[in-house]
């Protein structure tokens, strides 16, 4: 009789403790994010309008659809890769590359180091990456990846023109 | 054999004693084995794992800072023979140990402890091609900084664990090691290649 009573009490206590633990875990568990992880502040797309920029080019294409399709075949894991842009938004692009199409996959930089780092990164995925031999002038337009490189002081991203990028 | 109340007391005592011995001796033997191989798990000076963007910035500084890529390490991939070299934040490694040279880092987290566990538990066969760390870049399709830009994220086996895949084929073999060292596994948000030293972001 005593054993049965002890067993019943033990089971009851066990259930209460288990429910308590479940409630605690349920309350403290991180919420699930059905649309991916939450993201931080949205940075203003920096087009560098009027600046002389360095472009890393992944390819040129006759139409935007072709460029979009090619870009879809070049994922950079979970990171931003190339941007699809009309080539005419950069003065001097056609002169450097030739009349090979109206759209290109590019990423724009203010520093040579930024361009070289991205070119190496793209090549590590096996993707084409050519740094144009001269700077081209941005007329604004579609965002082309500018702002994703460190500043010279090492304190954060480079978010403003530098001497080399001023026309 | 089930040791119920009917088992002789001597047998029960022997089994309990043996279990206690194993619990005490096995970790010591494992530690000795790893030390012989030139590695010890240090757990030295880990920063708290931040939650959310503000805590990330408070703890690790701005994205793309010099600290974010101050330490580098090499990690060979098991499938293609390529040794990937990547950099990461100085608060997550680079402290001198038996295995890691003094790189001016502040802790033993990634390059000694996590990597050492994976090597010494013979799990390196599961770390495959596509291994990256710091990169000053936004999250794909956004203009928000990736945890990679803070040097607090690592992608491993990218060729086998693509973003958007909600299951894991190879990283599942060592993900618990990252998690036991305060990292979050991206499988939680269907990015199984990705490990980050942050929550809520």
B106 with B14, same domain? no
pLDDT tier, A31 (very low <50, low <70, confident <90, very high otherwise): very low
Q: How is chain A split into domains, by residue range?
A: 1-31, 52-165
Question: With 80 as the cut, is the pLDDT of residue A29 above it?
Answer: no
Q: Looking at the partner chain, which of A30, A43, A124 has a beta carbon nearest the beta carbon of B144?
A: A43
Range name among A30-39, A60-69, B21-30 with the lowest pLDDT average: A30-39
B28 with B60, same domain? no
Query: How many residues in chain A?
Result: 167
Across the interface, whether the CB atoms of A43 and B143 are under 8 A apart is answered: yes
Is 3.30.70.1070 the CATH number for A52-165? yes
**Whole-Å CA distances, B134 to A154, B102, B150, B171:** 14, 19, 7, 19
What is the end-to-end Cα distance of chain B in Å, rounded?
A: 49
- Overall domain count for chain B: 2
Q: Is A96 helix (H, G, I), strand (E, B) or coil?
A: helix
Q: Comparing C-alpha atoms, which of A74, A101, A98, A109 is closest to residue A85?
A: A101
pLDDT score of A152: 96
User: What does residue A145 show for φ and ψ, rounded to 5 degrees?
Assistant: 95, 5
pLDDT tier, A127 (very low <50, low <70, confident <90, very high otherwise): very high
Interface of B with A in 152-191 (CB under 8 A): 155, 158, 162-163, 186, 188-191
Run means of pLDDT, 10 residues per run, chain B, 201 residues: 61 79 74 71 97 96 98 97 96 97 98 97 96 96 96 97 95 98 96 96 89
pLDDT, tens only, B169-190: 999 999 999 999 999 999 999 9
Quick check: pTM over 0.80? yes
- CA closest to A83 among chain B residues: B141
Across the interface, whether the CB atoms of A36 and B194 are under 8 A apart is answered: no
| Residue B43 lies inside a defined structural domain of this protein | no
B74 with B145, same domain? yes
Domain that holds residue B33: 8-37
């Amino acid at each position: 009789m005593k054993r049965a009573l002890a067993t019943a009490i033990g089971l009851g206590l066990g259930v209460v403790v288990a429910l308590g633990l479940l409630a605690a875990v349920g309350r403290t568990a991180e919420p699930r994010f059905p649309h991916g992880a939450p993201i931080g502040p949205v940075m203003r797309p920096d087009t560098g309008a009027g600046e002389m920029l360095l472009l890393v080019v992944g390819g040129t294409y006759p139409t935007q659809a072709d460029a979009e399709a090619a870009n879809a075949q070049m994922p950079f894991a979970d990171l931003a890769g190339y941007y699809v842009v009309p080539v005419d938004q950069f003065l001097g692009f056609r002169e450097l590359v030739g009349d090979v199409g109206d759209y290109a996959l590019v990423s724009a930089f203010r520093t040579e180091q930024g361009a070289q780092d991205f070119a190496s990164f793209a090549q590590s995925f096996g993707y084409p990456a050519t740094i144009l031999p001269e700077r081209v002038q941005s007329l604004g337009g579609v965002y082309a990846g500018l702002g994703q490189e460190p500043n010279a002081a090492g304190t954060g991203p480079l978010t403003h023109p530098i001497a080399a990028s001023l026309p | 054999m089930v040791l119920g109340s009917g088992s002789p007391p001597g047998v029960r005592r022997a089994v309990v004693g043996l279990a206690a011995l194993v619990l005490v001796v096995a970790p010591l033997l494992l530690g000795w084995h790893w030390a012989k191989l030139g590695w010890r798990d240090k757990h030295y000076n880990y920063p708290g794992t931040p939650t959310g963007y503000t805590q990330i910035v408070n703890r690790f500084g701005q994205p793309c800072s010099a600290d974010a890529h101050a330490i580098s390490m090499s990690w060979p991939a098991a499938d293609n023979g390529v040794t990937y070299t990547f950099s990461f934040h100085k608060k997550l490694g680079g402290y001198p140990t038996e295995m890691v040279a003094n790189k001016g880092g502040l802790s033993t987290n990634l390059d000694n402890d996590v990597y050492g566990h994976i090597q010494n538990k013979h799990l390196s066969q599961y770390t495959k091609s596509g291994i990256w760390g710091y990169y000053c870049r936004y999250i794909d399709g956004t203009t928000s900084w990736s945890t990679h830009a803070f040097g607090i994220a690592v992608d491993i086996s990218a060729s086998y664990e693509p973003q958007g895949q909600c299951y894991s084929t190879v990283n599942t073999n060592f993900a618990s090691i990252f998690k036991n060292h305060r990292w979050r596994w991206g499988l939680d948000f269907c990015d199984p290649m990705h490990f980050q030293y942050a929550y809520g972001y």
